[in-house]
Amino acid sequence: MKRILIVTGQSGSGKSSALQVLEDLGYYCIDNLPLALLPEIVAKLDHENNLEQLALGVDVRSTREDLQEFDHVFEQLQKHGSVDIVYLTTQDQELIARFSASRRPHPLSSRFKSLNQCIQEEKTLLLPIQLRSTVHIDTTDKSVHDLKDTLLSRLGQSDRLIVILQSFGYKHGIPLDADYVFDVRHLPNPHWDLELRKFSGLDEPVRKFLEDSAQTNEMFEDIYHFLDKWLPAFAEGHRHYMTVSIGCTGGQHRSVYIVDRLKKALEAKWSVQVLHREMKHWS
């Protein structure tokens, strides 16, 4: 996993909106899990998936003990990628106005009589995280669109189309989040070669086997030229991401090879992320 973002801050300051922006940018987002469970869950995701960007929403609904142990959690997360903390804050009077307008209770309202007390206690509870924050954003005067622009700028990302290339196996079901699905089950199957079965489409023996097939090369060229032609049109339509899924029978050889080759061909023009959905099933 290349990048992990912890998104936190005062309740009402825009954490949910920030996570929605990050999801549109291609981040896999998880919100409101107990802080103590995050290292275990991130380790599992890192082992079983090929995620490159993960965003974790954290707030005062975690226990006081978990929040006090944040430094330990942070160190555990660093084992799986570069970790940045986005801390959102808002001036007290604006927070009070937002809660009054939404008529939603503050997460600490069952413990304190006034909203102002809740706000002050929350600042204290989140202080260990705030002290480690690498991106601090004041949302007092920001709309959702302003927040998006600020995140793009502060995280060093442009507002351009992200192409998500996903390999999968038909025997495990077609991905429901795919914008395009290409079936490559008709290509020569390395699975039937006992020497190749243990490898994946990322390994040299399988790559060589498939590259020697004219049919494989023609299929790759057709998919590549289709995407090269039409991705600009989607980008001009203000799409944030496009998920292209390539499927073979088991999701270990042919689809993985095509996805890897497409990544190398497209990344000069586009921001590309790769997910091999069936990696956990590879032999």
For 211-249, what is each residue's pLDDT tens digit? Answer: 999 999 999 999 999 999 999 998 887 676 788 999 999
Q: Is 60 known to sit in a ligand binding site?
A: yes
Name the pairing type of β-strands 135-138 and 271-276: unpaired
Write out the two tokens for 54: 């993960």
- Quick one: average pLDDT of 91-103? 91
Same domain, 126 and 200: no
Write out the two tokens for 215: 């049919």
86 contact partners, CB below 8 Å, separation of at least 6: 5, 6, 7, 8, 9, 18, 133, 134, 135, 137, 151, 154, 155
pTM value is 0.58
pLDDT category of residue 102 using cuts at 50, 70 and 90: confident
Same domain, 148 and 182: no
Where residue 106 sits, what CATH number does that domain have? 3.40.50.300
Q: Is 62 known to sit in a ligand binding site?
A: yes
Q: Is 156 known to sit in a ligand binding site?
A: no
Same domain, 180 and 131: no
Q: Is 53 known to sit in a ligand binding site?
A: no
Q: Is 81 known to sit in a ligand binding site?
A: no
Q: In the Cβ-directed half-sphere of 217, how many Cα atoms lie within 13 Å? A: 6
Same domain, 171 and 225: yes
Q: Is 61 known to sit in a ligand binding site?
A: yes
97 contact partners, CB below 8 Å, separation of at least 6: none
Q: Is 64 known to sit in a ligand binding site?
A: no
Same domain, 77 and 166: no
Is a pLDDT exceeding 70 seen at residue 283?
yes
Q: Is 247 known to sit in a ligand binding site?
A: no
Domain boundary among 154, 175, 204: 154
Q: Is 237 known to sit in a ligand binding site?
A: no
Q: How many domains does the chain fold into?
A: 2
Same domain, 136 and 171: no
Q: What does the alpha-carbon distance between residue 163 and residue 146 come to, in Å, rounded to a whole number?
A: 24
Range of the domain at 109: 3-154
176 or 127, which is more confident?
127
